[in-house]
Homo-oligomer: A and B are copies of this chain.
Amino acid sequence: MATEPVGGPASPPDRPLWLAPDGWSIEILDQTRLPHQVVVQRLGTLDQVVEAIVTMQVRGAPLIGITAAYGLCMALMTDDSDMALTDAADSLLGSRPTAVNLSHAVHAVRDAALGARPGGRVEAAYVMAATLAQREVDACRSIGTHGLGLLRELSQGRRRAVQILTHCNAGWLATLRYGTALAPVYRAVEEQLPVHVWVDETRPRNQGWLTAWELEAGGVPHTVISDTMAAHLLQRHEVDIVIVGTDRTTRAGDVCNKIGTLSLALAARDAGVPFYAAVPSSSIDWSLDDWRAIPLEERGEEEVRWIRGVDATGLRREVSPGGTASQVRNLAFDVTPSRLLTGLITERGICPATREGLSECFPGLEPIDPSTR
């Protein structure tokens, strides 16, 4: 039986989402309030779930998937008809376009409901949501163990901590537990392998500060830098390995992730530093060969214009570093072609970023004909 997510948050919280005491709604950490305030929000309707995804109160590809799964469950509580199911699924699928986890999760819950005995749709949906959640946790734990092996190798013969650079937040805030890119880091800390994490600020939404918050809470040595500084650190060999997450990885091994990832991959290649993506199978799009077909979300220009934070007195405020007349563009994701990746860290092990590499890790899963989904 699936066990995630259950119960309330530990104190301090160590997970971003859990089933509420009522057993059917969920509670989340509002990530738009972090790292300054720990605010728990109850989501009890489909609309609330969609809103939380769109506004990035929940974010991170695996977490978006799980949140959407519970959103569909809640919709079925209200109306378990075929039409309501389709409408709810469409609404969730349209909330954010890039993370493939969203469609995987929505389709899995939908299929579970459609396959249920009469009157059993709601229960089947909740069981599937919990199963997906548990799978995500298991995948992250496993990614951590495989990635730990890489960090161990890198630590050989070094007198200093292994220097890891990451982008955005692919920690437990973005998943449910452990994280993807950060899972090896947390495993290293458990095993007392000395590590230090360089954290890209990750403009425009500054999710690097979420990573810093996580690492601080976990007692992991780390340093925040502007995104502009990463290539310099790589050039000077102050980084031993780059590990990032992914929102959608094609079956050819191309990695779509937070905007700015491509820059890092290019800088790592030029410096001869290994560059890995941590890829749970929930983030693999088995239907896509051509990364140019990945829908890349363009978000509002206000995210670039207005920077959220707290002032010196701790009050939440937004400031604009520029004027209002200029045009602004805000693409949220980019794609790192497979040729720039040293490998993929999956829950089934580390593989080359190729179709063959992924097929060997996930035999039988690939290809899934998209028309059957």
CB closest chain-B residue, reference A266: B266
Known: A203-B228, A266-B267. A318 touches B312 (CB 8 A): yes
Q: Which of B206, B267, B321, B327 contacts A262, CB < 8 Å?
A: B267
The answer to whether B267 touches A304 (Cβ under 8 A) is no
> For the complex, would chain A's binding face be called helix, strand, loop or mixed by DSSP majority?
mixed
A127 to chain B minimum Cβ distance, whole angstroms, is 38
CA gap between A224 and B304 in the complex, in Å: 8
The answer to whether A263 touches B259 (Cβ under 8 A) is no
A53-61, A112-120, A329-337 - the one binding chain B: A329-337
The answer to whether A228 touches B260 (Cβ under 8 A) is yes
A33 in the interface (beta carbon within 8 A):
no
Which B residues lie within 8 Å of A194 (CB)?
A: none
The answer to whether B270 touches A266 (Cβ under 8 A) is yes
The answer to whether B322 touches A311 (Cβ under 8 A) is no
Contact with B along A210-229 (1 / 0, CB 8 A): 00110110000111111111
The answer to whether A232 touches B262 (Cβ under 8 A) is yes
A279 to chain B minimum Cβ distance, whole angstroms, is 20
A269 to chain B minimum Cβ distance, whole angstroms, is 8
CB closest chain-B residue, reference A203: B226
A44 in the interface (beta carbon within 8 A):
no
A148 to chain B minimum Cβ distance, whole angstroms, is 23
The answer to whether A213 touches B323 (Cβ under 8 A) is yes
Known: A225-B328, A235-B262, A329-B229. A209 touches B322 (CB 8 A): yes
Which B residues lie within 8 Å of A221 (CB)?
A: 327
Which B residues lie within 8 Å of A260 (CB)?
A: 226-229, 231
Q: Which of B36, B304, B319 contacts A307, CB < 8 Å?
A: B319
Contact with B along A144-166 (1 / 0, CB 8 A): 00000000000000000000000
A76 in the interface (beta carbon within 8 A):
no
CB closest chain-B residue, reference A320: B309
A199 to chain B minimum Cβ distance, whole angstroms, is 7
A107 in the interface (beta carbon within 8 A):
no
A103 in the interface (beta carbon within 8 A):
no
CA gap between A325 and B35 in the complex, in Å: 11
The answer to whether B319 touches A235 (Cβ under 8 A) is no
Within 8 A of B (CB), among A162-221: 199, 201-204, 206, 208-209, 212-213, 215-216, 221
The answer to whether B235 touches A304 (Cβ under 8 A) is no
A310 in the interface (beta carbon within 8 A):
yes
Contact with B along A100-132 (1 / 0, CB 8 A): 000000000000000000000000000000000
A372 in the interface (beta carbon within 8 A):
no
The answer to whether A199 touches B259 (Cβ under 8 A) is no
Within 8 A of B (CB), among A244-273: 258-260, 262-263, 266-267, 270
The answer to whether B231 touches A263 (Cβ under 8 A) is yes
CB closest chain-B residue, reference A265: B231
A326 in the interface (beta carbon within 8 A):
yes
- Pick the 7 closest A-B CB pairs, nearest first: A228-B260, A309-B319, A209-B322, A232-B334, A203-B226, A212-B326, A206-B321
Residue pairs across A and B with Cβ atoms less than 8 A apart, 30 shown, are A36-B323, A201-B203, A201-B304, A204-B228, A206-B322, A209-B321, A212-B322, A212-B323, A212-B325, A213-B323, A215-B326, A216-B325, A216-B326, A223-B328, A223-B329, A226-B330, A227-B260, A228-B258, A228-B263, A229-B259, A231-B262, A232-B334, A263-B263, A307-B307, A308-B321, A309-B320, A309-B321, A311-B318, A312-B318, A317-B319
